[in-house]
Amino acid sequence: MAAPTIAPISVALEGFSGVGRVATPALLGAMLHAAEKISDLIFSPGRPPQVQVYGQMIPVQVPGLTFLTPDDTRHIAADLIGDNKQAITTLREHGACDISYGLPGLARFRVNIFIQRGSCAVVMRVIPTAIPDFASLRLPQQLSDVTKLRDGIVLVTGPAGSGKSSTLAVLLDSINREKYYHIITIEDPIEFLHNHKCSTIHQRELHSDTPSFAHALRSAMRQAPKVILVGEMRDRETIEIVLEAAETGHLVFSSLNTMDASKTVERIVSSFLPAEQQSVRERFAKSFRYIICQRLMSKSDRSGRVAAFEILKANARTRECIEKGERENKSLLDAMKAGASEGMQHFDGEIAQLVQDRVVDLETGLCFASNPAVLGQELAR
Instruction: Give the chain's mean pLDDT.
Output: 92
Reported as a pLDDT band with limits 50, 70 and 90, residue 232 is very high
Residues of the chain with CATH 3.40.50.300: 134-345
* Bridge partners (DSSP) listed for residue 97: 113
Q: Crossing angle, helix 236-247 and helix 213-220, to 10 degrees?
A: 10
Determine the pLDDT at residue 55: 82
Considering the segment(s) 9-127 as one domain, its CATH architecture is 2-Layer Sandwich (3.30)
Please state whether the predicted TM-score (pTM) of the whole model is above 0.85: yes
Name which of 185, 362, 335 is nearest 262 in CA terms.
335
pLDDT higher than 50, residue 84? yes
Name which of 307, 311, 309 is nearest 342 in CA terms.
311
Average pLDDT over residues 322-348: 95
- Homologous superfamily (CATH) for 134-345: P-loop containing nucleotide triphosphate hydrolases (3.40.50.300)
Reported as a pLDDT band with limits 50, 70 and 90, residue 13 is low
**Residue 267: in which H helix or E strand, if any?**
helix 261-270
In terms of phi and psi (left: phi > 0; alpha: psi -120 to 50; beta: otherwise), the region of 152 is left
Average pLDDT over residues 2-30: 67
- Residue 189, preceding peptide bond in cis (omega within 30° of 0): yes
Reported as a pLDDT band with limits 50, 70 and 90, residue 105 is confident
pLDDT higher than 80, residue 3? no
Burial class (CB in 10 A: 0-12, 13-18, 19+), 317: middle
Residues of the chain with CATH 3.30.450.90: 9-127
Q: Which residue type occupies 197?
A: K
* Alpha-carbon gap, residue 43 to 77, rounded angstroms: 9
Reported as a pLDDT band with limits 50, 70 and 90, residue 66 is confident
Query: Which residues does 303 contact at the CB level (< 8 Å), separation at least 6?
Result: none
